Structure 1
Amino acid sequence: MRKSVIAVIALLPLLGGGCLAKTAVSLATLPVKATSKAADWTTTSQSESDRNYGRKVRKQEAREGRELKRQFEECRAQHRDDCDQYRPHAER
């Protein structure tokens, strides 16, 4: 009985060695992974920049379109003849 307990205790480091080594590697690489993740969060990629710029341009064009439409409707309400300069692009 005593020999089997000693044998099991002697084999424990061999059986758990892979887990300990993997944990040690994970702990050693953790700062590198955290730093790279932080860099990803703080920097903007070119595709993100392009997407954000496109969204900004579309919103600006939509604002300009609404403003032109409002000016056109005001001009027509005043029965003026020079309203074509305010006509939204889709109606030209």
Structure 2
Amino acid sequence: MKKIVALVLGVGFLFAMDPQTASKEELAAIKGVGEKKAEAIVKFRETHPIQGEKDLMMIEGIDLQTAQNIYDDVKEPQKEEKKEEKKEETPR
């Protein structure tokens, strides 16, 4: 059972996280965010769509570096997945 849970959690990291739909816990796990900023993001997106770093910077306590960290964490899993696909396609 532990292996199944670990597998499911591991697979979850392969997919990009969207700050517009991510849970408070997912957001809080990002470097520089934490629980209070994650809560502020969740509250902010109830009335404002988050479409980029500029939208995140409208939230009190989120500066350019934090906004970039959020989007880096969102984009990195996709980059890693593409690298893996290229490795599989490359004949040896």
TM-score, normalization: structure 2? 0.31
Higher Rg: 1
Q: TM-score by structure 1 length?
A: 0.31
Higher helix share: 1
